[in-house]
Amino acid sequence: MQKQMKPMTEVVLKHKERQSVVEFATMLEAIAQKLKENGEFTFVQGTEQTIVSPTEPLKIEYSYTKKGDKHSFEIEFDWYTGTQAPKKMTIE
């Protein structure tokens, strides 16, 4: 039995910046609006563009953690494309 090789993780975009609560909320609203209207959104850093185009179904994870004075709230959504797309079960 051969062990299947796991694909390497590719970091396509990683960005950190400080924003006010209003700036962050505005960014979330822009992402939500683009997803509703176009099914995708684009991050732009200088002249570099990264298109995020999720497919159905999404797996959503919300996480709120505290460590001392530091609070962290994360929203993560995952999806699969191509042959890795989850298969639906049917009865024939």
Q: What is the pLDDT of residue 84?
A: 65
Instruction: Give domain status of residue 6, yes or no.
Output: no
Instruction: Give domain status of residue 33, yes or no.
Output: yes
pLDDT, averaged in runs of 10, over the chain (92 residues): 80 94 98 97 94 93 97 95 69 72
Instruction: Give domain status of residue 57, yes or no.
Output: yes
Instruction: Give domain status of residue 11, yes or no.
Output: no
Q: Is the pTM of this model over 0.85?
A: no
Instruction: Give domain status of residue 16, yes or no.
Output: no
Instruction: Give domain status of residue 14, yes or no.
Output: no
- The total of other beta-carbon atoms located within 10 Å of residue 54's CB is 15
Kindly write down the DSSP assignment for every residue of 74-85, as one continuous string.
EEEEE---GGGS
Range(s) of the domain holding residue 69: 21-84
Residue 42 backbone dihedrals phi, psi, to 5 degrees: -125, 125
Distance CA 16, CA 47 (A): 18
Instruction: Give domain status of residue 13, yes or no.
Output: no
